[in-house]
Chains A and B, each alone.
Chain A
Amino acid sequence: MFTIEINGKSVEANDGQMVIDAADAAGIYIPRFCYHKKLSVAANCRMCLVEVEKMGKPVPACATPAVSGMKVFTQSQKALDAQKAVMEFLLINHPLDCPICDQGGECELQDLALCYGEDVGRYTEGKRAVADEDIGPLVATEMTRCIHCTRCVRFGTEIAGFRELGMTGRGEKSRIGTYVKHFMQSEVSGNIIDLCPVGALTSKPYRFTARAWEMSQHRSIAPHDCLGSNIYVHTRGYEYSDFREVMRVIPRENESINETWLSDRDRFSYEGLHKDHRLTGPMIRKEGKWLQVDWPTALNFAANKLRDIINSKKPDQLAAIASPSSTLEELYLLQKIVRDLGSNNIDHRLHQSDFSQQENAPLFPGMSTELASIDSMDAILLVGSDIRREQPLAGLRVRKACLNGATIMRIGSIDHDVNFKLSENVHTTPSTLVESLQAVVDSLTSDANKSSIAKHLKNSEKSLIILGDEAQSHSQATLVRALCLEIAKLSNAKIAIMTLGANSAGAWIAGAVPHRKAAGENSSAVGLNAQTMFSQPRAAYILLNVEPEHDLIHSSTAIAALMAADFVMSLSPYMSPVHADLADVLLPIAPFTETDGTFVNVEGKWQSFNAVSPPYGEVRPGWKVLRVFGNLLELNGYDYICASEVRNELEKLLQHSNVPTDRTSLEKNTSNKPKGFEILYEWPAVCVDNVSRRANALQSILMPLQRTVSISSETAKDLGIQSEQLITLKQSDREITVPARIDARIPNTCVLVPKGVSLTSGFGDGFAEITVQRGESHA
């Protein structure tokens, strides 16, 4: 630490720090285009030229290291002249199309031209024009506007690990493009929209819909994965009007979670909130017909039905299933109602099949370290994880660790492509996954270091084991988890259980599990879980943000049970065709942008957010609906005035909670390899929940592989079929005929069923035996 002087003010600087960083830290603005604190220094735009005492020429502040005692002038005549000259050059080829440019009003070039540009150009020659390239449904290009700062290129190379864009040509002919047209395949490609200082790269779904100055900016939390990325939601319309609409979502910097980035899913999913997709008001089914009704009618109808069932049958005839992306408040109130009515049948573990030892779980599954610490790990073992698509920004951190020299290893049944180097890649089948983990445990316990994974973990000072969706939804998930815990214990590694949705941790804490009440308190009676509540059908069900045809690993059993039930009420912003078939009451609740709420992320961070717009139409926030519903059911203690009271109540309960850490223990491996085919499920990144599934642009990036059932080439040979030919899958009395695709990621004798897509709607019954036949069904 030393001091330098900027514009006469003394400023602290560190060794190796560039002048621009020191100035930024001191709040002194130096104009820039190519500089970005998360990217390497390119120093190609020259906008940041400043005068430095004893240096003849102006120097770029972004590429000039601070030196003790240095005197910098950012506003001297010499600096200003240089900056103005650079601006004049930049504007030579820049079109004067701000009125029709989507970046207008939030353009770095426009802003700086205001300060450093002349009002009349001296350049009378023709300007260059650059043909556009279609780089996919998310990012629109207008390459004539590009000023060649290469931020987008550096983002691709350095951060995303995907060299998609590049600068071709030279001098006046240089241009940014993909050279050969092809779609960008990164899960974080939208970040180049924020990075581009001009209107060359803009958001395709958002463009031409609003101007920056018409919108209000609201802080919120991204609702799709367990990181809880911080976002700003931009809305247009008066504060209390019905016309206030979400126009777009951009990242809000939070160094410890999402840094300055956002995944495409979090950025573009807002399209799914659009009113075209939404339920506008409550509906009840009367004699097979859906009727729009008012709230009191709908809620009374539901309360009476529920009361009748509970009185005539038993309370345990009620079950509730909730999405792990519901808010903490909704989950808490839902479990409270279910329990107050005398049932413990509540769950949120939509992808889970193995619930053994749930009593040994910690307060919530999560990380025993912080997200940011991933960057500095020496070794990382991914177990059944497609981190790039499941938690894209955690994936970027794994990549960062890899670039810092960490050894990244993987054990899993799907050979997902990665954007980092995999030092070990053990490609298993679901049934051999357990053996592979056992082998690591064995070599850690015996001296013979046979497994190199064990060696790496053991020899690394800081190591981490990451469990992804496959590990958690595995048919022997408890064993998988116990083995991972064992490996972690033996190698002194940290554990990260990357749970489903935005709020799995919150769901556990709120008590949305059948064996524990809120704050982890043991429930005297253990209720039915996400699987058994359907395999042992109940008379009444409550669905919270769940679409059973897509969200559940046991879709087919669940739908059968729901169809047969006396009463089903669904709380969701949407009505799906399946809801229309099986529900009796539809209560439209607000998505995350229209309600106050809290998500607890995988680290256990509580992040609350407020509604950014009033609920659409007759929609109401879920916590309010449940609060009123509790009152109508004549239950006590439902007089909350605001969402934070619900949160406070839970927080108070937590003060007395003392759930021990994860005690999941190793039990003997009892599985025998299933005969025939093994089934694998994959929820494509853009199909993980009801909101993302309705986001049009995101849906259009679904890869062909995610629209077909995948098999390996050997399996195809055995079945005697070619890619795209039909196969028939049969599981638990459900049968579908679908095109199959040969997919190199899939192990032999396995079939990968994509979930959350219409192709497989309603199909899937966990790991029940599956048969695969060529062609259409002969039955």
Chain B
Amino acid sequence: MTEAVTIAPETQAEIDRWLKKYPTDRKQSAVLQALMFVQRDNGGWLSEAHLNAIADYLELPRIAVYEVATFYDMYDLKPVGKNKIDVCTNISCKLCGCDKIVSHLEKRLGIKIGETTSDGRYTLKGVECLAACVGAPMMQINDLEYHEKLTPEKVDAILDRLEKEGDK
């Protein structure tokens, strides 16, 4: 059985701010943001208990939250490494050579897509279109930064930087 978790008061306030943007009987509209906030608070991933907590907070059937959380690539339902690398493997990126980027990343990190390095530093994910097709091939770091028109060299530079930040 999963243990119940609670949503931190500050996070609740953040969710409430989003709730205000929608009609009061449309709390479901805030589910994407709520999931984002709670995932951030929890070190980048969501457990079943978190999903339940969000469902209860938004007064939604639990399945409604599971549906959203499992649909979008940006939610992780298993623990992730400190840095999360989402490489787009959808059509535009595929046509522009994302395979090369993926294999470069895999080689350099020593893991396959969907895995986390044993030191817990990196998680590598293949994701669907992130709406940056003009800059294909592309990847996203930690749900925040987009990096476009990737080459193996560019990837190395980004990873070097992450490496350095990690040492700090």
**Interface positions of A (Cβ within 8 A of B):** 163-171, 174, 178-180
Q: Is the CB of B70 within 8 A of A163?
A: no
5 A-B residue pairs with Cβ-Cβ distance under 8 Å, sorted by A, are A163-B61, A171-B128, A174-B71, A178-B63, A179-B62
Q: A163-B61, A168-B71, A171-B128 are in contact. List 14 more A-B contacts (CB 8 A).
A: A163-B63, A164-B63, A165-B63, A166-B64, A166-B66, A168-B63, A168-B66, A168-B67, A169-B70, A170-B128, A178-B63, A179-B66, A179-B70, A180-B66
Bound-state CA distance A163–B65 (Å) is: 11
Q: Is the CB of B71 within 8 A of A180?
A: no
Q: Does B48 contact A (CB under 8 A)?
A: yes
Q: Is the CB of B63 within 8 A of A166?
A: yes
Bound-state CA distance A163–B72 (Å) is: 20
Chain B residues near A179 (CB, 8 Å)? 62-63, 66, 70
Residue of B nearest to A180 (CB): B48
Residue interface mask B48-72, A partner, CB < 8 A = 1? 1000000000000111101100111
Chain A residues near B62 (CB, 8 Å)? 163, 179-180
Chain A residues near B63 (CB, 8 Å)? 163-166, 168, 178-179
Q: Is the CB of B64 within 8 A of A170?
A: no
Bound-state CA distance A163–B63 (Å) is: 7
Bound-state CA distance A214–B61 (Å) is: 41
**B 87-133 contacts with A by CB, 8 A:** 128
Chain A residues near B70 (CB, 8 Å)? 168-170, 179
Residue of B nearest to A178 (CB): B63
Bound-state CA distance A164–B63 (Å) is: 7
Bound-state CA distance A180–B69 (Å) is: 13
Chain A residues near B64 (CB, 8 Å)? 163, 166
Residue of A nearest to B2 (CB): A180
Bound-state CA distance A168–B128 (Å) is: 16
Bound-state CA distance A166–B72 (Å) is: 15
Q: How far is the CB of B130 from chain A (nearest CB, A)?
A: 14
Chain B residues near A171 (CB, 8 Å)? 128
Q: How far is the CB of B167 from chain A (nearest CB, A)?
A: 37
Q: Is the CB of A167 within 8 A of B48?
A: no
Q: How far is the CB of B108 from chain A (nearest CB, A)?
A: 27
Chain B residues near A164 (CB, 8 Å)? 63
Bound-state CA distance A165–B62 (Å) is: 10
Residue of B nearest to A171 (CB): B128
**Which of B63, B66, B70 has the most CB atoms of chain A within a 10 A radius of its CB?**
B63
Shortest Cβ-Cβ A-B pairs, 7 listed: A163-B61, A166-B63, A168-B70, A179-B66, A170-B71, A166-B67, A169-B70
Chain B residues near A167 (CB, 8 Å)? 67
Chain B residues near A169 (CB, 8 Å)? 70-71
**Size class of B's contact patch?**
10 to 19
Q: How far is the CB of B92 from chain A (nearest CB, A)?
A: 16
Residue of B nearest to A167 (CB): B67
Q: How far is the CB of A700 from chain B (nearest CB, A)?
A: 22
Bound-state CA distance A166–B71 (Å) is: 12
**Which of B48, B62, B72, B128 has the most CB atoms of chain A within a 10 A radius of its CB?**
B62
Chain A residues near B66 (CB, 8 Å)? 166, 168, 179-180
Chain A residues near B48 (CB, 8 Å)? 180
Residue of B nearest to A157 (CB): B61
Residue of B nearest to A166 (CB): B63
Q: How far is the CB of A383 from chain B (nearest CB, A)?
A: 28
Q: How far is the CB of A141 from chain B (nearest CB, A)?
A: 15
Residue of B nearest to A169 (CB): B70
Residue of B nearest to A173 (CB): B70
Q: How far is the CB of A399 from chain B (nearest CB, A)?
A: 15
Chain A residues near B61 (CB, 8 Å)? 163, 166
**B 14-64 contacts with A by CB, 8 A:** 48, 61-64
Q: How far is the CB of A158 from chain B (nearest CB, A)?
A: 13
Residue of A nearest to B60 (CB): A163
Bound-state CA distance A167–B67 (Å) is: 6
Chain A residues near B67 (CB, 8 Å)? 166-168
Q: How far is the CB of B84 from chain A (nearest CB, A)?
A: 18
Bound-state CA distance A163–B61 (Å) is: 6
Q: How far is the CB of A154 from chain B (nearest CB, A)?
A: 13
Bound-state CA distance A314–B70 (Å) is: 76
Chain B residues near A178 (CB, 8 Å)? 63
Bound-state CA distance A169–B72 (Å) is: 8
Chain A residues near B72 (CB, 8 Å)? 170
Bound-state CA distance A446–B79 (Å) is: 65
Residue of B nearest to A175 (CB): B70
Bound-state CA distance A467–B66 (Å) is: 39
Residue of A nearest to B48 (CB): A180
Bound-state CA distance A166–B64 (Å) is: 7
Residue of A nearest to B66 (CB): A179
Chain B residues near A174 (CB, 8 Å)? 71
Bound-state CA distance A179–B63 (Å) is: 7
Bound-state CA distance A195–B151 (Å) is: 51
**Which of B48, B70, B72 has the most CB atoms of chain A within a 10 A radius of its CB?**
B70
**Which of B48, B61, B64 has the most CB atoms of chain A within a 10 A radius of its CB?**
B61
Q: How far is the CB of B21 from chain A (nearest CB, A)?
A: 24
Bound-state CA distance A397–B126 (Å) is: 47
Q: How far is the CB of A135 from chain B (nearest CB, A)?
A: 12
Bound-state CA distance A178–B128 (Å) is: 25
Q: How far is the CB of A159 from chain B (nearest CB, A)?
A: 14
Q: How far is the CB of A213 from chain B (nearest CB, A)?
A: 36
Bound-state CA distance A165–B64 (Å) is: 9
Residue of B nearest to A162 (CB): B61
Bound-state CA distance A761–B71 (Å) is: 50
Residue of B nearest to A182 (CB): B62
Q: How far is the CB of B6 from chain A (nearest CB, A)?
A: 19
Bound-state CA distance A609–B62 (Å) is: 43
Bound-state CA distance A168–B67 (Å) is: 4
Bound-state CA distance A164–B61 (Å) is: 8
Residue of A nearest to B73 (CB): A170
Chain A residues near B71 (CB, 8 Å)? 168-170, 174
Bound-state CA distance A180–B62 (Å) is: 9
Bound-state CA distance A442–B64 (Å) is: 44
**Which of A174, A178, A179 has the most CB atoms of chain B within a 10 A radius of its CB?**
A179
Bound-state CA distance A707–B70 (Å) is: 37
Q: How far is the CB of B88 from chain A (nearest CB, A)?
A: 14
Bound-state CA distance A167–B66 (Å) is: 9
Bound-state CA distance A180–B64 (Å) is: 12
Residue of B nearest to A170 (CB): B71
Residue of B nearest to A168 (CB): B70
Bound-state CA distance A401–B120 (Å) is: 55
Bound-state CA distance A342–B66 (Å) is: 68
Q: How far is the CB of B70 from chain A (nearest CB, A)?
A: 4
Bound-state CA distance A369–B67 (Å) is: 42
Bound-state CA distance A174–B71 (Å) is: 8
**B 119-155 contacts with A by CB, 8 A:** 128
Q: How far is the CB of A166 from chain B (nearest CB, A)?
A: 4
Bound-state CA distance A745–B143 (Å) is: 46
Q: How far is the CB of B132 from chain A (nearest CB, A)?
A: 19
Chain A residues near B128 (CB, 8 Å)? 170-171
Bound-state CA distance A170–B72 (Å) is: 8
Bound-state CA distance A667–B74 (Å) is: 68
Bound-state CA distance A206–B66 (Å) is: 31
Q: How far is the CB of A402 from chain B (nearest CB, A)?
A: 14
Residue of B nearest to A164 (CB): B63
Q: How far is the CB of A84 from chain B (nearest CB, A)?
A: 25
Bound-state CA distance A178–B48 (Å) is: 13
Bound-state CA distance A178–B65 (Å) is: 12
Bound-state CA distance A169–B68 (Å) is: 8
Bound-state CA distance A95–B91 (Å) is: 27
Bound-state CA distance A195–B72 (Å) is: 28
Chain B residues near A166 (CB, 8 Å)? 61, 63-64, 66-67
Bound-state CA distance A165–B48 (Å) is: 16
Q: How far is the CB of A165 from chain B (nearest CB, A)?
A: 7
Bound-state CA distance A164–B66 (Å) is: 11
Bound-state CA distance A171–B71 (Å) is: 9
Q: How far is the CB of B48 from chain A (nearest CB, A)?
A: 6
Chain B residues near A168 (CB, 8 Å)? 63, 66-67, 70-71
Bound-state CA distance A165–B61 (Å) is: 10
Q: How far is the CB of B96 from chain A (nearest CB, A)?
A: 21
